[in-house]
Amino acid sequence: MVTMGSTRRISARRAQSASGTKSRIIESARKKLDKQRGHGRRHAGFNDRWDAMSRSEQQMLGSNKRSVWNVSPKPFKGAHFATFPVDLIEPCILAGSRVGDVVLDPFMGAGTTACAAVKNLRRWIGCELNPDYAQIATERINAFPFPGALSHPLAWDAVA
């Protein structure tokens, strides 16, 4: 996925902390008081703000998503061999683009990236060499429920 003026959205890369996280953090803080605290000029001004925050405020944003994501498979009747659920692509779209940005998918396949982009109010450009897969993507995108801002199924850029 490539976006012009690419940005990284922290909230899209966050996951809710596991139930034992809070107790591990508290225990770790007791053992290693200076672990979170910065050392040297690089962290100047950060320690006071961190110390003033309650534990719940420190954990409010959650933790970074892990390397392995659990995403439930979704049925797809098309003939494409590697169709992924929109839920798998959505965090990448949210982390790498803003509303109204253009998302590029150079290997369109079944159009999952385009569906995730449209669902999150992004425009998209897709490329697919195989005409059969381009037809599958076109049908899938036309059948996808579009949000109000992009209500017409032809509000997409290209599959060719």
- How do residues 1-10 score in pLDDT, each as one tens digit? 544 554 556 6
- Whether 30 and 80 map to the same domain: the answer is no
Number of domains in the chain: 2
* Residue-wise pLDDT tens digits, 26-64: 666 555 544 455 555 555 566 677 777 787 777 776 777
> Which pair of structure tokens corresponds to residue 9?
């959205």
What per-residue confidence (pLDDT) applies to 55?
77
Q: Are 115 and 84 in contact (CB under 8 A)?
A: no
Q: Are residues 84 and 155 in the same domain?
A: yes
Residues 29 and 72 in one domain: no
Is the same domain home to 8 and 21?
A: no
Q: How much is the pLDDT for 109? A: 84
pLDDT at 98: 92
Residue 160 belongs to domain spanning: 1-15+65-160
Q: What is the pTM of this model?
A: 0.57
Does residue 113 share a domain with residue 71?
yes
Q: From residue 74, how far is each of 52, 107, 119 by CA, in Å?
A: 45, 20, 16
pLDDT higher at 135 or 36: 135
pLDDT tens-place string over residues 57-110: 777 767 777 777 766 666 666 656 667 788 888 888 998 899 989 999 998 888
> What gap in Å lies between CA 8 and CA 105, rounded to an integer?
18
Residues 6+ apart with CB under 8 A from 43: 37
Tell me which of 43, 61, 79 is where a domain ends: 61
Could you tell me where the beta strands, DSSP code E, fall in the chain? 14-15, 63-64, 102-105, 123-126
- 54 and 79 both lie in a single domain: no
